[in-house]
Amino acid sequence: MERKTVLYIAVSLDGMIAKEDGSIDWLDEFEGEGDNGYSDFYQQVDTVILGRSTYEHVKVLTPVFPYQDKTCYVFTGSPDSYQDEHVTFINKGARAFTARLKQEKGSNIWIAGGADR
């Protein structure tokens, strides 16, 4: 059975995941109970895909990389510029790379973050 790719992000009613300045402080004002299903979702994935901007933002927000227990890929045009023991940096076409991942054994693949363009 082919693995699923899942986009799980918070988005505002106007379709934005961040303010124009890149801040996501609006997320602190969320409503709901508990973590709104995040923990259950997180247990269903074993792979996380991030773009470079999202990766850099995560590194600023959290002192410890939050996806250490998952296989994590970051798409970047300059993979040699980064080193992180918890991440593999990729400079390939996202569509073909993700299609290959979907054919491998494993759980769902989380696309966590937005696109630059």
Q: Decide if 112 is inside a domain.
A: yes
Q: Decide if 40 is inside a domain.
A: no
Residue type for position 53 = S
CATH code assigned at 57: 3.40.430.10
Strands (E), 17-86: 45-51, 71-75
Chain segment 22-76, per-residue pLDDT in tens: 777 776 776 777 777 889 999 999 999 998 888 888 888 888 999 999 999 999 8
- Helix, strand, or coil here: 34? coil
| Boundaries of domain holding 92 | 1-10+45-117
Nearest to 97 by CA among 63, 59, 50: 50
**Distance (Å, whole) CA 38 – CA 34:** 9
Chain segment 70-116, per-residue pLDDT in tens: 999 999 888 777 888 999 999 888 889 999 999 999 999 999 875 55
**Distance (Å, whole) CA 69 – CA 72:** 9
**Distance (Å, whole) CA 59 – CA 61:** 6
The number of folded domains in the chain is 1
